[in-house]
Amino acid sequence: MGRMDTGGRAAMLGAAMALLAAGAAAAQPQRKPDLADAVAGTYAGDVISDSKGSSRSNVSLTVTRTGPNTVSVTSDYQRLPSITVPLTAAMNTIQQARGDSVFLYDRGKKQLDVSFNMEVSWSGARQ
């Protein structure tokens, strides 16, 4: 068998490394979707009550998965603070597992209700 030049060796080594990387990626198990995946997304709705002000229409919320069964909730309305919510399932809902903010997603209606720090409440649906 003849000798390979340096360029040929580099090409073979590159191809071998690409195959190993692809095999390693395929060997890693896919993460099973959880409650956070089920509620992640953008929602459109309204502030329906506020202990320090009036209601407000057309307020968007963004729910982002931050970990297993955990989401962060942010808004385009400054009155709504960013919160992190651990989730649990109860009957046909996904709701907060603990904390002083209420997070209630109704799977049947596809509606989300959030009360931020028990001061301001928002209600809406996924966009």
Q: Which two tokens stand for residue 127?
A: 């966009």
Q: What is the pLDDT of residues 61-81, one digit of tens each?
A: 999 999 999 999 999 999 999
pLDDT above 90 covers a percentage of the chain that reads 76
Examine the pLDDT at 127 and tell me if it is beyond 70: yes
Q: What structural domains and CATH numbers belong to the chain? A: 35-126 (2.40.128)
How far apart are the C-alpha atoms of 93 and 110, rounded to whole Å?
9
Name the DSSP letter for residue 117: T
C-beta separation of 71 from 39 below 8 A: yes
Q: Determine the residue type at 108.
A: G
The pTM for the full model equals 0.76
- Per-residue pLDDT reduced to its tens digit, 111-123: 999 999 999 999 9
Mean per-residue pLDDT for 5-34? 64
Residue 32 CA, chain-centre distance (Å), reads: 14
Assign 3-state DSSP to the chain and report helix, strand, coil percentages, each to 5: 20, 45, 35
Q: Other C-beta atoms within 10 Å of 75: how many?
A: 21
pLDDT in the model for residue 4:
54
Give the per-residue pLDDT at 67: 97
Q: What share of the chain has pLDDT > 70, as a percent?
A: 78
Residue 34: which of 60, 66, 62 has the closest Cα?
66
